[in-house]
Amino acid sequence: MSFSYFYELFRLNLRSEILEYSLILENAINDLLLLNLGILDGGKETRLFGNKASVTFKNKIDLLYDINVLKKEENSELELLMFFRNKFLHDINSNSFLSVIEHLDNGIKNRFKYFLNEDDNLTDESACKAACLRLFLKNISTIKNKVKEYRLKIEDRHKLFQIQNNQILKYIDVIFDLLNDICLIIEKSELEDEKVRKLSEEINFKLESVLQKLNSEDEIKVELETFLGSPEKLKNFFGIVKSSQVSKLNWIDFKNY
């Protein structure tokens, strides 16, 4: 077989590898964006983020940056991988890392150098290929951490709600016990004076009415139970605007990379 055959095979393998990186990354970014927008059905029924949507990868990471999900450096690292992706997939003359890097400005070169090993340089094709893999894995790690942060935020909201609920119930119990104790004190008292006896009866009547209210379904308790039992209200509380299934954000097994 001729040298040209192996060279073409190398170019195809390289383009395929970069394409695989970008497809995995774009899918992960799409899910992260949907999660932070409160759309947990995978975007299949959304106009902007479905299979036929026209929102670009650049638009998506810019939006994640605008809503403070991605930091500036993280956004820049995602853009860097997409830069190589666009070169390899849309420019026929970009058939190796060296051919791409040759025409880069110093800013992009310096950003890519960060992912080289200490003794490597941009004139080594295999070193650049390994650096691209490290860039990809760094981006994937960033997205996984963002998903973890989001889940922790939701858990914190849930814990806060539980603390507030327990506090309200504690107040109700304290008031109930206080009123019950007062009633017992009045019942055991020997009241000979008619005016005092009448006053105690009025107080006792009032206390019994309050106790009845507390024994019945407390209005706050009913509201809390209604809130907890309503998926729509819970979704609104946690910022979920669409949820037909659990989010798919355990999507990728990276052990092969």
pLDDT of residue 9: 44
pLDDT of residue 256: 45
79-95 per-position pLDDT tens digit: 999 999 888 888 888 88
User: 50: which 2 tokens?
Assistant: 């479905």
Residue pair 77/25 in contact by the 8 Å Cβ criterion: no
Residue pair 168/149 in contact by the 8 Å Cβ criterion: no
pTM over 0.75: no
Residue pair 140/31 in contact by the 8 Å Cβ criterion: no
Bridge partner list, 242: 39
Residue pair 95/64 in contact by the 8 Å Cβ criterion: no
pLDDT of residue 142: 94
239: Cβ–Cβ under 8 A, 6 or more apart, which residues? 38
Cα–Cα dist 239/214, whole Å: 33
Q: What is the DSSP letter of 49?
A: T
pLDDT of residue 188: 67
HSE-up of residue 222 (Cα within 13 Å, Cβ side): 7
pLDDT of residue 71: 93
Residue pair 122/101 in contact by the 8 Å Cβ criterion: yes
pLDDT of residue 153: 82
Q: Which long-range contacts (CB under 8 A, 24 or more apart) does 158-164 make?
A: 161/237
Nearest to 141 by CA among 151, 133, 152, 129: 133
Residues of the chain with pLDDT under 50: 2-10, 245-257
User: 232: which 2 tokens?
Assistant: 């729509």
Cα–Cα dist 250/171, whole Å: 41
pLDDT of residue 189: 67
